[in-house]
Amino acid sequence: MERVAIGKILRAWGVKGELLIAPLCQDLKRYSQVEKVFISDSDAKEKPYGIKRSRIFQGKVLLQLEGIDTREKAEELKGKYLEIDKKDVPLLTEGCYYVFDLVNCQVLSLNGKKIGEVKEVLPFPANPVLSVRKGKKEYLIPFVKEVVKKIDREKKKIWIEPMKGLLD
């Protein structure tokens, strides 16, 4: 089954095993609709974790997972990603995208110049940032409407209008 990352585990929160999550989805209320998650890069990757509780906290999500009931267990998960089955991904409204929609997209300027390929989406506090690579060169492109002008999910292409100095 193909899976989709919905958040990155930043750290443990409190002593009862809660996790502080950097969301990879802007609609934080969606986390309360998720019933189970998988944890990437763990020995128990195939094991689903039920969600006991979720709440929004300062633009992040606090989750309590079944079976993660101590701070020590939660700390072991730092840096890993929460994933859900792709079939469980809710439809998004116009102008919203999942990370899997953006990763591996070709990035082009409005005049057609190839800039590179999206390798990952970084969850920064102000806005997500696209890590775009071409050869050994990496560009960090803010995922904001002032820069990202058009996205074609089917063709896996993103057109941008770079700010001055962005591609230097």
Model confidence pLDDT, tens digit, residues 41-92: 755 557 889 999 999 988 899 999 999 999 999 999 999 989 888 888 777 7
Distances (CA, A) of 116 to 127, 130, 135, 136, 158: 20, 11, 8, 10, 10
Q: Is residue 110 part of a domain?
A: yes
Dist. CA 50–CA 119, nearest whole Å: 30
Judge whether residue 1 has pLDDT over 80: no
What is the model's pTM? 0.63
CA atoms within 13 A on the CB side of 152: 8
For the chain, what's the residue count?
168
Dist. CA 111–CA 123, nearest whole Å: 28
Q: How many domains does the chain have?
A: 2
Residue 140 domain boundaries = 99-160
Does residue 108 share a domain with residue 81? Answer: no
* pLDDT tens readout for residues 105-161: 999 999 999 999 999 998 888 888 999 999 999 999 999 999 999 999 889 999 999
* Residue that terminates a domain, selected from 88, 110, 127: 88
Does residue 74 share a domain with residue 15? Answer: yes
Output the domain CATH number for residue 155. 2.30.30.240
Supply the mean pLDDT for the chain.
88
Closest to 66 in 3D by CA, of 47, 81, 40, 90: 47
* pLDDT tens readout for residues 15-35: 999 999 988 776 777 777 788
128-134 and 137-142 as β-strands: parallel, antiparallel, unpaired?
A: antiparallel
